Amino acid sequence: MVIQVRGVVLPERVERTFAIDGDRLRADPVPGADLVVDGGWLLPGLVDAHTHPGTESTDQPFSDEMLRKHLLGHRDAGVLLVRTPGSAARIPDWVDAAEDLPRVRSAGRWLATPGRFFPGFGRDVSEADLVAAAVEEARASSGWCKVIGDWRPDEPAVPLELLTAVVAAVHADGGRVAVHCQTGDGCRNAVLAGADSLEHGMHLDPGLIDRMAAQGTAYVPTLSVFGAGADRRRAEEPSARRDWWLAGWDGMLPNVAAAHEAGVTLLAGTDSFPTGTVASEIGWLLKAGLPAEAALGAASWSARSWLGLPGLVDGGPADLVAYDSDPTLDPSVLSRPARIILRGRVVA
């Protein structure tokens, strides 16, 4: 059955009517088709570009049941595309075939060299084996791999030469590399190695931002997970670790603003639970000083384009969220979607 939607499409701000035939949008209206959205504002499905569905703690095994629960939580909040940059296990094939779940772009298992992650939570590899493992994980996933580029501030980051070799090998194989980094050296090495995305980026040297823009390294700051812990950290007894963390946090919002000004692709990612909270990350991007359309795009059309999917265009995927008012003027409406359509099916 063909259904139709009508509303003001963002970011173009033009009223359009789309027929939905199967899982595709069609620009030509179909007389007599059921109009399931009539008015309001239409967005390409929201995107969480950094989320880890399937487990909630380092002592909890990855499970299909938890994965499905988390993905449904995303979907019910209008998040219709997720990128999981690293997991405790590879995302199973059944997810791609599930019509009621968001589309997933995965990066296989976290790749952790000795001393740089929770032991056994990802894929523990030696530095000698890291390049081959990165290519293997990218091939086994959606073309991505995720390297834990650093860990604690008193431990060395993955060496620049090794990370450069990882990026070169994965790129030569047609894949892309995400790097977890939260120390100055880790951020520096990820940028200089040419990583495709910088995850977290705490202690990022602002002098590297122009290089990120020039080479196309995206920035996924996951501000909401850091912001949620800032007050607790400030209340702790002074220590070198506390002061290091707070210094990194204090630089994140200015760095995000500078990255936007420089033309770096900024993406919204939550890295936290419960799932379906990307609206909170949009709020933090607004606090950092991003214009409303840029902050929203980081969790919708810009993120979808970066991950290889078009927005609301003829022939594009029928993944959209409708709101009663303009979310760039009233971001609170993001928590109240009027209609959610995934793969051409009305799910809410």
Structure tokens given for 348: 């809410």
- Mean pLDDT in the chain? 97
The model's pTM is 0.97
> pLDDT for 185-212, tens place per residue?
999 999 999 999 999 999 999 999 999 9
Q: Which residue is it, tokens 């030696």? A: 126
pLDDT at residue 272, as a whole number = 80
> pLDDT for 129-138, tens place per residue?
999 999 999 9
Length reported for the chain: 348
pLDDT at residue 69, as a whole number = 96
Taking residue 313's Cβ as centre, other Cβ atoms within 10 Å add up to: 14
Which segments in the chain show pLDDT lower than 50?
Answer: none
Taking residue 49's Cβ as centre, other Cβ atoms within 10 Å add up to: 32
pLDDT at residue 148, as a whole number = 98
Report the alpha-carbon distance of residue 9 to residue 5 in Å, rounded.
Answer: 11
Q: Which domains does the chain have, with CATH numbers?
A: 3-43+311-346 (2.30.40.10), 46-299 (3.20.20.140)
pLDDT at residue 237, as a whole number = 94
pLDDT at residue 274, as a whole number = 86
DSSP E strand boundaries for the chain: 3-9, 14-21, 24-26, 34-44, 46-48, 79-84, 103-106, 110-112, 123-124, 144-148, 176-181, 197-200, 218-220, 320-323, 339-342, 345-346
